[in-house]
């Protein structure tokens, strides 16, 4: 399994939705820009999708939105549908990241991740055939894993490692209206469970699919995993 940063074959009709709007309250530091092996976690997620050949990447921001958007806006042409975002890119600067569309959750301080997910899903409705969903604090899944999921044609495709379900989750875009209409408990997980949809779990050797960074202890586990792959930072 490769975790290097490279561009894979293009995946037309496939988008990726990354959620990075939360307060990072349990971590005590701003998780999306917390550096893991010298690279911000949110950037690692974006790079993995780039490795998988995903061109349409949407990130929902909220807390410290301008700072995060600026950090990930090195690509010429990054789109900001929210007119309140007025960042200026240097057209000569190329970070190697794919083009990103930034959307903002203005109620990030008093809403949950599902609210942010709905903002992204509403934007992507009608723009793609399938989409990946991933929080920005699950930074070490590989592009190879994403490509493996794309080989499946089920409504919902979920990576699994040692029988632990993880991210990114691949969804058929025609599920978006039902997810947007869901008002029950459990947020995104509850919405997906409520759907009468075919789901497939794909077993992988990618431990990065289920390790998140909610707490400093979680982050230490991510550092340990990355060190086991690279030998150092």
Give, in order, the Cα–Cα distances in Å from 160 to each of 3, 113, 120, 167. Answer: 17, 22, 24, 8
For the chain, list the domains and their CATH numbers: 14-230 (3.90.550.10)
| pTM, two decimal places | 0.88
Quick one: CA dihedral 68, 211, 175, 54, positive or negative?
A: positive
Find the radius of gyration of the CA atoms of the chain: 16
Quick one: CA dihedral 128, 188, 167, 153, positive or negative?
A: negative
Helices (H) and strands (E) in the chain, counts: 7, 10
Going residue by residue through the chain, which has 233 residues, state the pLDDT in tens, using 9 for 90 and above.
445 455 668 898 999 999 999 999 999 899 999 999 999 999 999 999 999 999 899 999 999 999 999 999 864 344 554 433 333 333 334 444 557 999 999 999 999 999 999 999 999 999 999 999 999 999 999 999 999 999 999 999 999 999 899 999 999 999 999 999 999 999 999 999 999 999 999 999 999 999 999 999 999 999 999 999 987 55
Question: How far does the chain reach from its first CA to its final CA, in angstroms?
Answer: 18
User: Do you find a cis peptide bond into 87, omega within 30 degrees of 0?
Assistant: no
List residues bridging with 132 in a β-sheet: 16, 170
> For tokens 């990103």, what's the residue?
100
Phi and psi angles of residue 158, each rounded to the nearest 5 degrees, phi first: -125, 130
Cα 60 from Cα 135, distance rounded (Å): 10
Name the DSSP class of 98.
Answer: P
Q: Please, are residues 209 and 145 in contact by the beta-carbon 8 Å criterion? A: yes
């Amino acid at each position: 399994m490769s975790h290097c940063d490279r561009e894979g074959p293009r995946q037309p009709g496939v988008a990726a939705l990354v959620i990075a709007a939360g307060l990072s309250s349990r971590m005590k530091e701003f998780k999306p820009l917390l550096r893991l092996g010298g690279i911000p976690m949110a950037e690692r997620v974006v790079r993995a999708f780039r490795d998988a050949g995903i061109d349409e990447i949407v990130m929902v921001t909220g807390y410290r939105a301008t700072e995060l958007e600026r950090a990930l806006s090195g690509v010429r042409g990054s789109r900001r549908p929210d007119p309140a975002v007025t960042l200026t890119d240097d057209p000569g600067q190329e970070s190697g990241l794919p083009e990103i569309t930034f959307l903002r959750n203005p109620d990030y301080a008093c809403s949950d991740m599902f609210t942010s997910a709905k903002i992204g899903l509403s934007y992507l409705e009608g723009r793609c055939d399938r989409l990946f969903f991933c929080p920005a604090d699950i930074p070490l899944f590989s592009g190879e894993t994403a490509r493996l999921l794309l080989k499946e044609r089920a409504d919902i495709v979920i990576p699994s490692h040692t029988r632990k379900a993880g991210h990114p989750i691949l969804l058929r875009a025609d599920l978006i209206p039902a997810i947007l209409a869901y008002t029950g408990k459990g947020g995104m997980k509850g919405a997906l469970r409520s759907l009468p949809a075919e789901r497939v779990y794909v077993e992988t050797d990618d431990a990065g699919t289920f390790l998140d960074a909610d707490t400093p202890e979680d982050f230490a586990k991510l550092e340990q995993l990355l060190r086991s792959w690279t030998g150092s930072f």
